[in-house]
Amino acid sequence: MGPERDPTIGALRAAAIESGWRVFQRSAGGDESSCAVELWSNGAILRSCLSETEFDPDLVPHLVFDRYCRSLARLPGSAAEGAPLVPSCCQLAELLPPEPSSIADRWSASSVRGGLSAVIGQGTDGPRSLDLVSDGPHLLVAGTTGSGKSELLRTIVSAISLTHSPDRVNFLFVDFKGGSGLGPLLDLPQCVGMLTDLSEHELERTLSSLRAEVRMREATLSKAGSLICQHIGPKPAEPGRGESGRRSRFPILPVLYL
């Protein structure tokens, strides 16, 4: 529809020309294949069957483009207003309250269920978790310097410690940042030690200890008739032996993560 039929378009066109803008007007009944706009990093050109006109386009500002892309990412195929958004920041204490009573309740609850889950953040549909048993047991975190690798590892370790007791899991930190990456978590009851690149003489001793630990666990699991730790479930107490007798026969083997 041209400006002669819509006064709003006509007024907008007149205001743009008065402000020094170059206005390209195309009639509603024109052939779409007869013209095209090509955008470059330093300009643009309008091509038609009759002429070619170079011009400087008013590109979308970065913040406007960023908001638009984020609105499209709210839900697959939808940019509806009011759709849930991933929060810009989230504190672990908001997801796993650090009060002693709350920690005790989570430790008690985790002792009767499998897995080794860790809450690592907040998504559009609630807390997001990572399970080092069903999703693991190995985990690789990659990224450039300053991308948050150490922060993610601290979050995972803290979340597991807030959810699982030292009877369920132990951590041995191997920190080649001189201890600055995981050092703040040394006081966790689940932490059994830390090695750094500043203590090379301790590495061989630790490797020897780990080999001995693996052999001990292999022997223990062999006696229990199981090859995988999580396959060992609660067994009824033998007559006359009670719970303490069963535990002495099948010692608790906390999961050890390096």
CATH code of the domain in which 136 resides: 3.40.50.300
How far, in Å, are 120, 156, 160, 162 from residue 101 at the CA level?
21, 21, 16, 11
**Are 119 and 217 in the same domain?**
yes
Scanning 7-148, the segments in alpha helix (DSSP H) are 7-18, 62-72, 92-95, 100-110
**Are 105 and 54 in the same domain?**
no
Percent of the chain with pLDDT over 90: 5
Residue 253: how many other CB atoms lie within 10 Å: 17
**Are 50 and 116 in the same domain?**
no
In a domain, 103, yes or no: yes
Question: Which amino acid does the sequence have at 134?
Answer: S
**Are 187 and 253 in the same domain?**
yes
In a domain, 42, yes or no: yes
What is the rounded average pLDDT of the residues 137-152?
85
Question: Which tens digits make up the pLDDT trace of 86-140?
Answer: 777 888 888 899 899 999 999 988 888 778 888 888 888 888 888 888 887 788 8
In a domain, 79, yes or no: no
Look at residue 1 in the predicted model and tell me its pLDDT. Answer: 40
DSSP assignments along 116-156, one per residue = -EEEEEEETTEEEEEETTTS-S-------TTSSHHHHHHHH
**Are 155 and 47 in the same domain?**
no
In a domain, 96, yes or no: yes
Question: Which tens digits make up the pLDDT trace of 42-85?
Answer: 788 888 777 788 877 777 777 877 887 777 776 555 445 555 67
**Are 99 and 148 in the same domain?**
yes
**Are 46 and 170 in the same domain?**
no
**Are 168 and 244 in the same domain?**
yes
Residue given tokens 């730790």 in the structure block: 229
**Are 51 and 97 in the same domain?**
no
Count how many domains the chain has: 2
**Are 45 and 96 in the same domain?**
no
The strand pairing partners of 5, in sequence order, are: none
**Are 10 and 107 in the same domain?**
no
In a domain, 165, yes or no: yes
What is the rounded average pLDDT of the residues 6-15?
72
Question: Which tens digits make up the pLDDT trace of 149-197?
Answer: 888 889 999 999 999 988 888 888 888 777 788 888 888 999 888 887 7
Cβ-contact 107, 165 below 8 angstroms: yes
**Are 143 and 250 in the same domain?**
yes
Domain extent for 193: 92-257
